Amino acid sequence: MRGIVLMTVTLLILSACGDELLIPKPPTYLRSELPPHNYIHYNSACGYHFDISKEYTVKDVTSQPGQTNFTCHKDIDLGVLNGTIHFSYIDMQEPLAKYVNFANDKVEEHKLKATAIKDSNIIRTDARVFGTIFELQGDVASPFQFYLTDSSTTFVSGVVYFNTRPNYDSLRPSLSYLKTDLIRMINTFEWK
């Protein structure tokens, strides 16, 4: 009888100390509170204009630090997204293919880190705006790149950089937000 009681107590103790099923939890990221999309019209003295988010600030880029000379290259500060669009304007001196190939080569530099590269062609014949926007997925330094041209005299390109280590999963809400603004910018882009 004493053996049965001892065995019952032992079984009760063992069943009470049962292994807890541990389930690993995925890493979490801070939730981004992004403002609603509101746009203003940006009119450049360089021969183009487009709609831009009210949250962003267009800054002139100087050729040398400390200089105030005028240039058509711009940095678009992305405000709460903590990033920049490096926006370059070029009066074409070479054939168009040279500029397009250079832009494509810049996208190719990210191929090692990108898990996917999606491109969309821009063909707006009524406004003489042609180009491509590239969406680079994965832990890449530049998740969006684009170029626009009138196909004969001018070429602009844009490259997006965030001021943080690239982590596609944590940046995904910001990337989705920015993509909406980039599409608006490109669809309203016109030459003067």
180: domain CATH number is: 3.40.1000
Q: How high is the pLDDT of residue 20?
A: 66
In a domain, 2, yes or no: no
Residue 89 domain-assigned (yes or no): yes
Structural domain includes residue 162: yes
Residue numbers of the domain that contains 56: 36-191
> How many domains is the chain built from?
1
Low-confidence ranges of the chain (pLDDT < 50): none
In a domain, 140, yes or no: yes
pLDDT recorded at residue 24? 73
pLDDT of residue 30: 57
Give the tens place of pLDDT for each residue, 32-88: 788 999 999 999 989 999 999 999 999 988 766 655 555 789 999 999 999 999 999
Q: What is the pLDDT of residue 139?
A: 92
In a domain, 28, yes or no: no
Structure token pair of residue 16: 């009470």
Is 11 within the bounds of a domain? no
Q: What is the pLDDT of residue 106?
A: 92
Q: Map tokens 């070429």 to a residue.
A: 155
Return the closest-CA partner of residue 78 out of 95, 99, 54.
Answer: 54
What is the amino acid identity at position 87? F
Separation CA 42–CA 91 (nearest Å): 20
Q: What was the pLDDT predicted at 135?
A: 96
> Which pLDDT belongs to residue 112?
86
Q: How far apart are the first and last CA of the chain?
A: 101
**pTM (predicted TM-score):** 0.79
Whether 27 is in a domain gets the answer: no
The answer to the question of residue 183 being in a domain is yes
Structure token pair of residue 120: 């969309």
